[in-house]
Amino acid sequence: MPVTCSSLSVVYGRRQALSDFRLSMAPGEIRGLIGPNGSGKSTALQTVAGLIRPAAGQVEIDGTAVHGLPRRVLAQKLAYLPQHPAAPEDMTVEHLVRQGRFAHVGLFRRYGPEDEEAIRWALDGTGLTALAGRSLRELSGGERQRAWIAAALTQQAKVLLLDEPTTFLDIGHQVEVLELVRRLSREQGVSVIMAIHDINQAMAVCDAISLLQNGVLKFDGPPAALAESGLIETVFRVRGRFVTFAEGGPPHFDLSLGVIPA
Amino acid sequence: MAASLSARPRSAGLLLAGCLLAVALSLPLAVLLGVADVPLADSLATLSGGGSAMARSILLEFRLPRVATGVLAGINLAVSGLLLQRITRNPLADPSILGISQGATLAVAVFLLVTVYSHAPGGNTLPDLPVAWLPAVGLVGGLCAAGLVHLLALRHELGPIRVTLCGVAVGALLHALAMGVIAGWGSTRVEILLEWLAGSLYARSWDHALFLAPFTMAGLALLPVLLRPLDLLGLEAAAARSFGLSYRRAFTAVLCLASGLAASAVGAVGPIAFVGLLVPHLARFVVAGHRALLVPVTVMLGAVVVTAGDLAGRLIGGADEIPIGVVTALLGVPVLILLLRKTP
């Protein structure tokens, strides 16, 4: 199992941000993490990434506990991309993407052919090859987001955690990122956990979905089962219904606007 | 790296050569020129082992140690500023943002207060006092301030904003205490302290250069090890950690180095204004896209700015020389404003 979480709980001061969170992923699985704002999606991702120490429970990657692993060893197994990461404005795209190789080169080792190849591959996969020499200040929000995704990709980790990777992107680039995620999972067996707001994108791309509400796991299973559960309406406090457009296609949530649920 | 360099119009070699030329021009000029007119031939003879007694005394006992102290202090302040700007991710950071200058000032003020009163009543000129202790006292004061800031920041999540806020708060407190000591002193002896406060290379001897040298050498030896962590420390902490950096350890290492560099320089020459703030910006402007050259260029410009500033102060002021701290502030402010206008 690439990733297993056993009854994780995270406490911020007095607030229980995550309680009894469980997760078990197969190699190459794409896992969607959905839930209202403040439901604990980012907290769950950061805990899996070893950035937050849980009050209880444990995260394991390939059977090894995440907490206690040196950062650089962990970074070879797991890449995590925060929501709106900051970087110096005068840094070039190529230089940022290069940072992702730190896990492999460390303090002293020279960048070898396999490092340069990883950088080139990540730039190419995110469509940034032509922009490699630009500074971050010259990029649009979407290009910046892709540059960060490219940096995470150069880690060439088998587990990829993405916190809302499609926000800021126009619909074309959203699809590009989702396609990239799918390619990584299908062709290279990368397991992906991503927090995502768009329910229909989650339904279409993910193999399994975890639904969070106030730090509590409300659902864990395949998209079709989530559609049948009726939980989307209650957890997000909206009215709508799931429809299927094509035989075997993903269920699509059709939101009814102008109706406030009781 | 080679690919990204060749794409740039300005050649890296030319850039380095230009900086080396600036060093090669400013250092000899600072030794050869000064208030006392020493004929060029006499100066050159002195430097090659001969020369008149007067020239030997002026050059070997006064100017050379003064220039050496200036070079080392300049490098220390500039590198410290670069490190602090990077780890606090704040372009306005300099040794005063961590309370280092203020800590050194308070320590020196208290030290002078105590020694002046315990000394013979006639001993109110600088050479009569145990001024040889000032660098060490300033160093300890600066390091204590930085240590306090670090401890306060460590109690919470160590991060750029936390460190900056703690630094500003501790700095303000220490500054107020130092001003209280100075105001309460109520004596003409304040001018001893004022001279140190302005930042000066006046009467700096080989002892000062020897005091600074270990810090400068440790700094220059550690910089290559810290290059990659420094790049990562410029990123958001969560991102840097997920790229594999032990954030807390790297942050602490860079903070300790920056504090040692700044506190030693402030102790030896006083809080020279703007060098730590200005030189990294100047270096960034000069290197343009060549990020790999930023550190060496910062080192060279740190040495040049302080020696050239000191030379200007000596030549303009004549016998009543203008302290280097005043020169760097007067020249530094317009340069900084110009740089800010030119950088998008």
Predicted ipTM of the assembly:
0.89
Best B157, B242, B247 residue to mutate vs chain A (most A CBs within 10 Å): B242
Q: Higher-confidence residue: B111 or A101?
A: A101
A206 found inside a domain: yes
Quick one: pLDDT at residue A71?
Answer: 93
Quick one: pLDDT at residue B187?
Answer: 62
Distances (CA, A) of B32 to A233, B50, B200, B275, B310: 83, 15, 19, 24, 13
Helices (H), B33-99: 40-47, 53-56, 64-87
Quick one: pLDDT at residue B129?
Answer: 61
pLDDT exceeds cutoff 90 at A192: yes
Inter-chain CB proximity A74 and B244 less than 8 Å: yes
B267 found inside a domain: yes
Chain A residues in contact with B4 by the CB 8 A cut-off are 92, 94-95, 132-133
**What CATH number does the domain containing B296 carry?**
1.10.3470.10
| A261 in contact with B, Cβ within 8 Å | no
| A76 in contact with B, Cβ within 8 Å | yes
Inter-chain CB proximity A103 and B234 less than 8 Å: no
B44 found inside a domain: no
Quick one: closest CA in A to B249, which residue?
Answer: A71
| B245 in contact with A, Cβ within 8 Å | yes
Quick one: pLDDT at residue A226?
Answer: 92
The contacts of residue B182 (CB under 8 Å, 6+ apart) are: B109, B190, B193
Total number of domains constituting chain B: 1
Determine the distance from the C-alpha atom of residue B310 to the mean position of all C-alpha atoms in its chain, rounded to a whole number.
Answer: 13
Both tokens of residue B323?
């302290």
Both tokens of residue A76?
């070879």
Best B88, B161, B243, B342 residue to mutate vs chain A (most A CBs within 10 Å): B243
CB count within 10 Å of CB B225 equals 12
Quick one: pLDDT at residue B5?
Answer: 40
A261 found inside a domain: no
Average pLDDT, chain A: 91
Inter-chain CB proximity B243 and A74 less than 8 Å: no
A153 found inside a domain: yes
Name the residue among B22, B159, B142 with its Cα closest to residue B94.
Answer: B142
> Measured between alpha carbons, how far is A56 from A51 in angstroms, rounded to an integer?
15
Inter-chain CB proximity A95 and B7 less than 8 Å: no
A137 Cα to chain B: minimum distance (Å): 9
B5 found inside a domain: no
Inter-chain CB proximity B243 and A155 less than 8 Å: yes
| B248 in contact with A, Cβ within 8 Å | no
B34 found inside a domain: no
| A90 in contact with B, Cβ within 8 Å | yes
Quick one: pLDDT at residue B280?
Answer: 92
Tell which phi-psi region holds residue A156, choosing left (phi > 0), alpha (psi between -120 and 50) or beta.
left
Both tokens of residue B7?
């794409």
Residue ranges of chain B whose pLDDT lies below 50: 1-8, 123, 127
Cα Rg of chain A, angstroms: 19
Q: Which domain holds residue A82?
A: 3-255
A185's enclosing H/E stretch is helix A171-188
pLDDT interval class at A231 (50, 70, 90): very high
| A123 in contact with B, Cβ within 8 Å | no
Total number of domains constituting chain A: 1
Quick one: pLDDT at residue A262?
Answer: 55
Q: How many CA atoms lie within 13 A of A24 on its CB side?
A: 5
The contacts of residue A186 (CB under 8 Å, 6+ apart) are: A28
> Measured between alpha carbons, how far is B36 from B319 in angstroms, rounded to an integer?
9
**A30-34 vs A191-195, strand pairing mode:** parallel
Q: Which domain holds residue B72?
A: 10-29+55-342
Quick one: pLDDT at residue B344?
Answer: 55
Query: What is the DSSP annotation of B147-163?
Result: HHHHHHHHTS---HHHH
A262 found inside a domain: no
Q: Choose the closest CB to B235 out of A85, A94, A133.
A: A85
pLDDT interval class at A122 (50, 70, 90): very high
A238 found inside a domain: yes
| A163 in contact with B, Cβ within 8 Å | no
Backbone phi, psi, residue A14, to 5°: -100, -10
A258 Cα to chain B: minimum distance (Å): 40
B207 Cα to chain A: minimum distance (Å): 36
Inter-chain CB proximity B238 and A111 less than 8 Å: no
Q: Higher-confidence residue: A240 or B131?
A: A240
Residue A138 is classified by DSSP as G
Quick one: closest CA in A to B344, which residue?
Answer: A137
Quote the percentage of chain A above a pLDDT of 90: 65
> Measured between alpha carbons, how far is A116 from A162 in angstroms, rounded to an integer?
23
Inter-chain CB proximity A82 and B89 less than 8 Å: no
| A91 in contact with B, Cβ within 8 Å | yes
What's the whole-number mean pLDDT along residues A179-197? 93
Give ∠ CA B270-B275-B281 in degrees, rounded to 5. 165
Q: Please write the tens of the pLDDT for every residue from A60-79.
A: 998 899 988 999 999 999 99
B4 found inside a domain: no
Residue A109 is classified by DSSP as P
B138 found inside a domain: yes
Helices (H), B155-293: 160-185, 190-198, 206-233, 237-242, 247-269, 275-287
Q: Choose the closest CB to A102 out of B4, B245, B344.
A: B245
**What CATH number does the domain containing A38 carry?**
3.40.50.300
B36 found inside a domain: no
What's the whole-number mean pLDDT along residues A12-24? 91
Taking one residue from A and the other from B, the number of pairs with CB-CB distance under 8 angstroms is: 84
Q: Is the Cβ–Cβ distance between A245 and A252 less than 8 Å?
A: yes
Q: Choose the closest CB to B243 out of A75, A91, A111.
A: A75
> Measured between alpha carbons, how far is B158 from B249 in angstroms, rounded to an integer?
10
Q: Choose the closest CB to B234 out of A87, A100, A105.
A: A87
> Measured between alpha carbons, how far is A95 from A87 in angstroms, rounded to an integer?
11
| B157 in contact with A, Cβ within 8 Å | no
B228 found inside a domain: yes
A93 found inside a domain: yes
Quick one: closest CA in B to A111, which residue?
Answer: B1
